[in-house]
Structure 1
Amino acid sequence: MVCVALVACGDTSPGALPSDARPPYPQSTLINSVSFDWSTHLRFADGSDNWPITWADDDNQYTSWGDGGGFGGSNRKGRVSLGIARIEGPADVYRGYNVWGGVGAEREAQFTGKSYGIISVDHTLYLWRSGAGSNSTAYDFQRLYKSTDHGRTWVGADWQFTREDGFFVPTFLQFGKDNAGARDGYVYIFAPNLKTDKWAVHKPGEIVLIRVPGDRLFDRKAYAFYAGTEPDGTPGWTARVEHRKPVFVDEINGVMRTSAIYNRGLGRYLLVTEHSHRSRGNIGIYEAPEPWGPWSTVLFQTGFGSPHVQANTFFWNFSSKWTRAGGEHFTLLFTGRDANDSWNTVEGRFNVSNRDISLQEGQNPP
C-alpha cells in the first residue's frame, strides 16, 4: 500500500503541489490519510474516458464513457461519442459489457455528447447529458435522460438547463444500491458553476447543490437549489436558479468535473473534484457530515498515481458497491490521457482516526 497524506507545498516533483496551491478547507480530523494499493490496478476499455458509476437494482453497476469503443474497443474501434456499459462482479474480478454503443453493444448509441452523472433510482437509470459533443460543448446544455431497461433505451426530458443557468457537468450524489440508502426522499446533484468559456479548471471554483424528489426527476418545477443557511442553521432552498449559492468554494485552485458519494460506514459525504490545471492528476477529496458541508480536506494532491500511472488522470469516482469494511476500504475509478484514456480502478483505504463517530450523522434531513 502507498500511503498518501496531504502533500506539502514547495516540491516540484510529480505528486507535489504548485507553490501557490493550498487546500481550501482544513485537514479532516476523521480521515488521517489515504492508502492506495497499486498492485490492484486494473485497466480496460482503451481510448474511452470519463466513467461515472452507479449501483443499480439488478446488483450490477452502470457507467458511461466518451469518445471510444468501450469495453473491447479502442479510440477508433467501435468509437461513439457517448456509450453506456454494465459492470458485473466484485472489485477484484469484474467484467464490463457495452450496453448502448461501442463494440458488440446490445443496442446502438442514439445520440452524442458526454455524461458525468448517472444514478439508479427506483429501478430506473437517470443520466445527465452535458452538451452534444466534447470539451466546452458541455457548457451548452444539461439534459436529463432516463432508462427503464438498464440502459438499452433512453428517453430525454422535454426541458434542459442552459448555458445561461450557469452551471455544467452535473453529477449525482450516490446513496448505494438503487439509491436505497438515501437520507430522505430527494435526489441530490452537485455541479460546478460556469466561470470560463474554455475547457479548463474554473476559477474561482464554486460547486452548487440541487435537489429534487426522487419520483419527480423529469419535472423541472420540482428542482430546488441550495440558497445558503437559514438563521436556525438549516439549509435554505430556492426554486430560482439565479438565487443559488455554492456549498463548496475553492477560489484560488478552482474546480472542474466532480463526483459525490455518501459513505455510510464513515457517516460522511465525500466530494471529489479537480483543481489547479486539468488532466494532471490534480485530485481533491473532501468530506462533510452534510451535503452542504462544512467540508474538510482528505487529500489535495497533483500527479495522482505517479509513478504507478502517468500523472495525467482526471475525474475520479468512488464505487458504492465496492466500498466495504465499514467504509474504510474502497475502489476508486479514474480516467485520463494517453494510457489513462481508459477505464481504471485501484483499491484503497481511508486511515481513520476515530471509529466512534455517529453513523447517524447526515441521515435525518432538516
Structure 2
Amino acid sequence: MTPARYGSRIFFTALLLFILQFVIQTPDQAQAAGSPITMAGFGQTVVPGGNEGDTWDSTWRANGTTFLQNNDGYGWGGSNTSQHDRISQFNGSPDTPSTISGSNISSFLGSTYSTSIYEVDGALYHIICYSSQVPGNWVFRNPSLLKSTDGGATWINISGQTNTLPGDNAASSTFPSGWGEVNFVKYGQGGAAPNIDNAQTYVYLTNPDEANDHLYLARILRSDLSAWTTTFDKTKIQYYAGGAGATWSSSAASAVSIYDGKNSPTAMVYNYGLDRYVMTSFKSDSWLSPPIDSTIRMHEAPNPWGPWTTILEENGNNKNGDNLTWAYLMQSFTSNGGKKMWATTSGRSPYGLQLLPVYFTTNPVQSFEAETSSALTGVTTSTSVAGYTGSGYVTGFDSVGDKAEFTVNAATAGSHILKIRYNTSAYQSISFYVNGVKLDTLKLGKSQQVYATWTELTMFAWLTAGNNTITYKYDSGNSGNVNLDKLSLALYSTTPGLLPGPYPGSPTTTDDGDAGITYSGTWGSIPSGGYYNGSVHYSNASGNYAQYGFTGTSVKWMGAKNNDHGKADIYMDGVLDATIDTYSATFDKQQILYTKTGLSSGSHTIKIQLRSDKNAASSGYYTDVDAFITVPGATATTLDDNNAGITYSGAWSTTTTAGYYNSTLHYANTSGAYAQYTFTGTGIQWIGARSNDHGKVDIYIDGVFNSTLDTYSSTFDKQQTLFSIAGLASGSHTIKIQLRSDKNASSSNYYTDVDAFIVS
C-alpha cells in the first residue's frame, strides 16, 4: 500500500467518524397502527373559576393526580401573589364541573416563564424560559430543563443547583439558540409509553422556530433523565434529522422540520384509544389593540415526526365567546375509547383556565361545496375572496330567509361532527337547522386575520339514516353577512348522548327569551335569580297569551306558583286541552305547571292564554313563562311547500310572507283543487294556517278517504299542524289534500293552504 493511499484511508475514516458523532441511525421500531383521525370538533368550554393565568400545560402523574403549570396570575385561590410561573394540582374532573378545584404547590418558581411539565419514571420535569413580552413580537429564549424528585417541592437545574433558576444566556440554556417554546410529547399516566416509536427508550420534545413557521423534534434518553442527579449533559440531546424517524443528530443545525405552518406553541399527545398522535397549535395575539383572534388547530399523525394532517382550524371566539389561546391536550380524562379528550386553554375573560372538550372520529368524511348545495335562497355565489375550495363560495345572508341548504345522506343514524368553512370580516351570527328543526344560533368569530382569510366552526347533530337537510339560514335576530365555502361531516357514534346536542329522546329546554316564543299582549320580563337561565316573562291581563311551536312528542311548561298568580287555558294545536291554576300560598320557581305527552312525532303548538278568573285565595292574576321542555321523538324531515315532489292541481297561488315555514306558502280557494305528496316513512303531518277566511278539505291517504278538516279559526294562526297520521306501514305512501265546496258558517271564504309537510 502506497503512503498516499494509506493517507487517504486515514482521512476518509476520520471524516466518517466526524460525521457519525453528529448523525445517529435508529433501528426500525414499531409504529402506531390506528386508523387516521378524519375530523375533530370543539364543544363548549368549562370555566371553573377561582384561578388566574395562562399556558396551563398538564401532566397525569403515576399516583392519579393531575399537575398544571401556568404563567402569570395568581394560579389558584385569589389571595396569592401574581407571578410568571407556577405549578399547581388540579382536583376533580371537567366532566363534572362542580368537582373542580385547584391548589398551588410551587414555591421558588416565579421570575421566568414556562412552557411544559411532564412526569417520567417518578420524576417531574419542567421547562422554563425567558421572554420579551412585547405585543405583536413575543420572543421566548434560552429554555432550560428542571427536575424534581419530591413532587415539585424542590428543583435542580442542569448545573446541579437546587431551587436556583438558570441564567438568561446560551451557556445556561438546555436547548440551542432559537429554541424557546419547548414542549414534551406526552404519553400515558406517569409517562408510561407503549412499545412504539422508541417511546419506551426516549422522551420526545417539540419546539417551533421564532417565526412559528416550522416545528422541530428532539429526544432525550429516559435513562439519561433518570440518571440526572447533579449536572445534566445537554450534548446528549438528539434532534430529528429526517428519515422517517431513523436519522437523528446531536447538532441542532441538522434538525429538519416535522410540520410547516403557523404553530405557537405546539403540544403533542399520544392517544392510546385511537393509537394516533394528536397535536394542538394556535395563532393569535390577544394583547394587541385591537386583538388578533385565535385560531386553534388540531393535527394528527401516525408518528411524532409525522406526516402531520390538519383536521380542524377553528376561531377561538366562536361558540365559546372568548379568545382562547395556549391549547394543550391533557393525558388525563380521555374517554369514549380516545374519541373525547380535554384541552386546557387560556381565556381572556375571565383571564384564566378554560377546559375545552375535543371530539375525534376516524370515520369517512363527506364534503359538500356551498355553491353546489341543494337549495340556495336569497344568496349568490362569488369568487371575490381568495382561498375558497371548489368553484367558489356562497355570499349574502343579508335578509331574513336567506339560506343555504345541503341534502346529505347518512349511511347510518347517529351523532355526527359537522364543520363549516367560512369567511367574515366581523363577528356575525347565523341559524343552524337539521331536518327543519333549529338547533342553534351560531356565533361566528371573524376569520379575516393577519394570518388567515377563512376559518372553520364545528357543530354536532344527530342524523337519521338516509337523506337529511342541513340548513344555514338568516333568521330574525341574526347578523348574517357570512361567506360560506364548504360543509364537511362524519359519523361520531351510533350511541345517543356521546356528543353535545339533542338526539332522539333527549329533552330540549327552551328559555323564555327564545325568539321562537310569541308573546301576545302586555308581557314583562325580568332577570331574576332562581328562574331558568335567570329570567322570566310574566303577564296579568286576561286574553294575553304565550305561544310556542316545537317538533316533538311531548312538552312541559315551566313557570312559578305564587300567592298572586291566576289561571290559564292551555291549547295544544289550537284545541283547548286544560285549565291550570298557578296559585300557591308559597313562592315556588321552576315548577312544571303543565305536561302533555303522547303527541305524534312532528310539529305542534302550545298556547298559554290568561283567564279572567282566579283562585279565591289569590291576590292577582299573574301567569309566567320560565321555559318549555320538549322531547323531540323520532327525527322528522320537513319539506317546504315549494318542494318539487309536491303536486298542485287546479288554481294555486304562492306568496312570500314572514311567519310561514321558510317564509313561503301555497294557497287555493277553488273546490276540487288539491295538493298531493308521495313520501317514504311511517307518518306525515300537514302544516298550514288557520284563519277566518279558511274552508274545509278532505284528506286521502294512499287513495282512501281519511277525514274532513275545517281550517277556519277566528284568529290568524300560522304554522299549525292541521293533520297528522302515524303508525303507517314503513314504506311509500301518498297524502292528498282536496278542497271542498262547503265551509264553516263563520268563515268568509274557502281558502286552504300548504306551508310544509313533516315526514317521520
TM-score, scaled to structure 1: 0.75
User: C-alpha deviations, 1:78-111, integer Å up to 9, x for none?
Assistant: 21121110112333233211101xxxxxxx3344
- Gap regions ≥5 residues in structure 1: 1-28, 101-107, 196-201, 355-366
1:346 matched to 2:356? The reply is yes
Deviation at 1:54, TM superposition (A): 0.7
- Gap regions ≥5 residues in structure 2: 1-34, 160-170, 226-231, 287-292, 365-760
Match of 2:202 among 180, 186, 190: 186
Query: Distance in 1 between the 2:138 and 2:174 partners?
Result: 11
1:85 aligned partner: 88
Q: Which runs of 4+ in 1 moved over 4 A?
A: 132-138
Query: Distance in 1 between the 2:348 and 2:223 partners?
Result: 38
1:278 matched to 2:288? The reply is no
What is the count of residue pairs matched by the alignment? 299
User: C-alpha deviations, 1:304-333, integer Å up to 9, x for none?
Assistant: 2524231x2111111111112210011121
How is 1:223-234 mapped onto 2 (pairs within 5 angstroms)? 223-229=237-243, 233-234=244-245
1:47 matched to 2:47? The reply is no
Query: Distance in 2 between the 1:94 and 1:226 partners?
Result: 39
The residue type equivalent to 1:140 in the other structure is R
Match of 2:339 among 319, 328, 346: 328
**Counterpart secondary structure, 2:331:** coil
1:257 aligned partner: 265
- C-alpha spacing 1:89/1:345, structure 2 compared with 1 (3 Å): same
- Decide whether the 8 Å contact of 1:140 with 1:163 is kept in 2: no
How is 1:56-67 mapped onto 2 (pairs within 5 angstroms)? 56-67=61-72
**Counterpart secondary structure, 1:156:** coil
Query: Distance in 2 between the 1:194 and 1:148 partners?
Result: 32
The residue type equivalent to 2:184 in the other structure is F
The residue type equivalent to 1:278 in the other structure is D
The residue type equivalent to 1:227 in the other structure is A
1:359 aligned partner: none
Match of 2:248 among 227, 237, 249: 237
2:498 aligned partner: none
The residue type equivalent to 1:223 in the other structure is I
- Decide whether the 8 Å contact of 2:114 with 2:128 is kept in 1: yes
Higher strand fraction (1 or 2):
2
Match of 2:173 among 161, 176, 179: 161
- C-alpha spacing 1:239/1:172, structure 2 compared with 1 (3 Å): same
Query: Distance in 1 between the 2:324 and 2:145 partners?
Result: 27
The residue type equivalent to 2:217 in the other structure is L
1:151 aligned partner: 152
User: C-alpha deviations, 1:45-74, integer Å up to 9, x for none?
Assistant: 443111111111221111111111111128
2:328 aligned partner: 317
Query: Distance in 2 between the 1:234 and 1:348 partners?
Result: 28
2:36 aligned partner: 30
- Decide whether the 8 Å contact of 2:139 with 2:210 is kept in 1: no
Query: Distance in 2 between the 1:329 and 1:137 partners?
Result: 32
2:305 aligned partner: 292
TM-score, scaled to structure 2: 0.37
Deviation at 1:138, TM superposition (A): 5.3
User: C-alpha deviations, 1:175-207, integer Å up to 9, x for none?
Assistant: 011111253210000000123xxxxxx3xx100
RMSD of aligned C-alpha atoms? 2.4
- C-alpha spacing 1:274/1:160, structure 2 compared with 1 (3 Å): farther
- Decide whether the 8 Å contact of 2:52 with 2:73 is kept in 1: yes
- Decide whether the 8 Å contact of 1:228 with 1:245 is kept in 2: yes
2:587 aligned partner: none
- C-alpha spacing 1:327/1:62, structure 2 compared with 1 (3 Å): same
- Decide whether the 8 Å contact of 2:175 with 2:234 is kept in 1: no
1:18 aligned partner: none
**Counterpart secondary structure, 2:190:** helix
Query: Distance in 2 between the 1:213 and 1:45 partners?
Result: 38
User: C-alpha deviations, 1:233-272, integer Å up to 9, x for none?
Assistant: 553100011111111112xxx2221111000111111111
Query: Distance in 2 between the 1:319 and 1:272 partners?
Result: 11
- Decide whether the 8 Å contact of 1:73 with 1:79 is kept in 2: no
Query: Distance in 2 between the 1:133 and 1:343 partners?
Result: 23
Query: Distance in 2 between the 1:72 and 1:144 partners?
Result: 27
1:141 aligned partner: 142
The residue type equivalent to 1:89 in the other structure is G
- C-alpha spacing 1:261/1:110, structure 2 compared with 1 (3 Å): closer
Deviation at 1:153, TM superposition (A): 1.7
**Counterpart secondary structure, 2:75:** coil
- Decide whether the 8 Å contact of 2:281 with 2:326 is kept in 1: yes
- C-alpha spacing 1:269/1:248, structure 2 compared with 1 (3 Å): same
**Counterpart secondary structure, 2:298:** strand
1:11 aligned partner: none
- Decide whether the 8 Å contact of 2:127 with 2:145 is kept in 1: yes
Identity percentage over the alignment?
25
Query: Distance in 2 between the 1:132 and 1:73 partners?
Result: 25
2:186 aligned partner: 174
The residue type equivalent to 2:113 in the other structure is K
- C-alpha spacing 1:271/1:187, structure 2 compared with 1 (3 Å): same
**Counterpart secondary structure, 1:215:** helix
